[in-house]
Amino acid sequence: MSLLDLRNLSVDYSGRRALDDVTLAILPGEILGIVGASGSGKSTLALAAIGLLPDDAVVSGTVAFDGVPIDTLSERQRDARRGADIGLIFQDPAAALDPLMTIGAQVAEAIRAHHRISRRAVLGQAAETLARCGLDPDEAPPGRYPHQLSGGQRQRAAIAIAIAARPRLLIADEPATALDAVTQAHILALLRRLVAEEGMALVLISHDLALVAGVADRLAVMAEGRIVEQAPTAALLANPASEYARTLIAAATADIGRHIDGDDGSSPARGGGARSASEGYRPIEGATPLLHPCGLRPPLAGKDFEGRSVPETLLEADRLSFAYPGLGPAVSDASFTIPRGAIVALIGASGSGKTSLLRLILGLATPRTGEVRIGGRSLTHAKGRSLRDLRVQVQGVFQHPRASFDPRWRVRDIIAEPLALRDQAEPGLIERAVARVGLAPHLLDRLPHQLSGGERQRVAIARAIVIEPKLVVLDEATSALDPISHAAIFALIARLADEQGIAFLIATHDLVMMRGFADRLIVMEAGRIVEQGATAQLLVDPTHPSLRALIAATPALAFDLVPGAVAS
Amino acid sequence: MRTGAAIVGLLIAVALLSLVWTPHDPAAIDVAVRLAPASAAHWLGTDQLGRDVAAMLMAGARVSLGVSIAAIGGALLIGIPIGLLAAARGGWTDALLMRSADMLFAFPALLIAVLLAATLGPGAGNAALAIGLFNVPVFARVTRGAARSLWQRDFIAAARLAGRGPLAISAAHILPNILGTIAVQATIQLSLALIAEAGLSYVGLGVQPPAPSWGRMLEEGQTLLGIAPRLAILPGLAILIAVLGFSLLGDGLRDRLERR
Nearest one of B164, B186, B170 to B247, comparing CA atoms? B186
Residues facing A33 on adjacent strands = A204, A219
| Coil/strand/helix, residue B226 | coil
Sequence length of chain A is 568
Residue type, A257: G
> Looking at the domain A287-303+314-393+470-562, which fold is it?
Rossmann fold (3.40.50)
Averaged pLDDT, B21-50: 79
Taking CA atoms, A466 is separated from A308, A386, A396, A438, A461, in Å, by 34, 20, 11, 13, 8
Residues facing A25 on adjacent strands = A5
Domain ranges of chain A: 287-303+314-393+470-562, 405-468
Q: What is the spatial distance between Cα A321 and Cα A174, in angstroms, rounded to a whole number?
A: 35
Cβ contacts (< 8 Å) between A420 and chain B: which residues?
A: 162-164
Nearby residues of A128 by Cβ (< 8 Å), 6 or more positions away? none
Q: What is the spatial distance between Cα B29 and Cα B55, in angstroms, rounded to a whole number?
A: 12
Averaged pLDDT, A136-150: 84
- pLDDT, tens digit, 9 for 90 and up, residues A171-202: 998 887 767 777 788 888 888 888 888 889 99
Interface contact flag, A463 B163, Cβ < 8 Å = no
Nearest one of A69, A57, A56, A55 to A10, comparing CA atoms? A57
Nearby residues of A76 by Cβ (< 8 Å), 6 or more positions away? none
Residue type, B88: A
pTM for the whole structure: 0.66
Domains of chain B: 2-14+52-259 (1.10.3720.10)
Residues facing A174 on adjacent strands = none
Q: What is the spatial distance between Cα A113 and Cα A499, in angstroms, rounded to a whole number?
A: 60
Residues facing A365 on adjacent strands = none
Is a pLDDT exceeding 80 seen at residue A14?
no
Is a pLDDT exceeding 90 seen at residue A140?
no
The answer to whether A38 touches A453, Cβ cutoff 8 Å, is yes
Interface contact flag, B155 A418, Cβ < 8 Å = no
Interface contact flag, B161 A388, Cβ < 8 Å = no
Question: Which pLDDT band holds residue A312 (cuts at 50, 70, 90)?
Answer: confident
Average pLDDT along chain A: 79
Complex prediction ipTM: 0.75
The answer to whether A517 touches A343, Cβ cutoff 8 Å, is yes
Interface test with B, best of A400, A417, A430, A456 (most B CBs within 10 A): A417
Share above pLDDT 70 across residues of chain B, in percent, rounded to a whole number: 99
Averaged pLDDT, B137-155: 92
Q: What's the DSSP call for residue A148?
A: G
- Which residue in A364, A400, A403 is closest to B160 by CB distance? A364
Q: What's the DSSP call for residue A430?
A: H
DSSP for B71-133, please give it.
Answer: HHHHHHHHHHHHHHHHHHH-HHHHHHHHHHHHHHHHS-HHHHHHHHHHHH-SSHHHHHHHHHH
Q: Among A271-275, A373-377, A512-516, B135-139, whose mean pLDDT is lowest?
A: A271-275
DSSP for A283-347, please give it.
Answer: ---S--TTS-TTSSPPPPTT--TTSSSPPPEEEEEEEEEEE-TTS-EEEEEEEEEEETT-EEEEE
Spell out the long-range contacts of A487-490 with Cβ–Cβ below 8 A and sequence spacing 24 or more.
Answer: A487/A251, A487/A254, A487/A255, A487/A288, A487/A290, A488/A454, A489/A454, A489/A457, A489/A458, A489/A461, A490/A290, A490/A517
Q: What is the spatial distance between Cα A150 and Cα A103, in angstroms, rounded to a whole number?
A: 13
Interface contact flag, B164 A364, Cβ < 8 Å = no
Nearest one of B188, B201, B217, B56 to B128, comparing CA atoms? B201
Interface contact flag, A391 B163, Cβ < 8 Å = yes
- pLDDT, tens digit, 9 for 90 and up, residues A269-287: 323 333 323 233 233 333 3
Cβ contacts (< 8 Å) between B155 and chain A: which residues?
A: 403-406
Is a pLDDT exceeding 50 seen at residue A255?
no
Nearest one of B164, B216, B246, B204 to B60, comparing CA atoms? B216
Give Dmax over CA atoms of chain A in angstroms.
75
Q: What is the spatial distance between Cα B37 and Cα B50, in angstroms, rounded to a whole number?
A: 11
Q: Among A19-23, A235-239, A328-332, A420-424, whose mean pLDDT is lowest?
A: A420-424
Taking CA atoms, A104 is separated from A108, A114, A121, A156, A367, in Å, by 6, 16, 12, 12, 39
- pLDDT, tens digit, 9 for 90 and up, residues A99-121: 888 999 999 988 888 888 888 88
Q: Please give the interface size between A and B, counted as residue pairs whose CB atoms are below 8 Å apart.
A: 53
Is the peptide bond preceding residue B229 cis, with omega within 30 degrees of 0?
no
Residue type, A108: A
Interface test with A, best of B150, B151, B155 (most A CBs within 10 A): B155
Residue type, B46: T
Give the per-residue pLDDT at B259: 52
Which range of A12-21, A242-251, A374-383 scores highest in mean pLDDT? It is A374-383
B interface with A, Cβ–Cβ below 8 Å: 153-155, 157-164, 172-173, 176-177
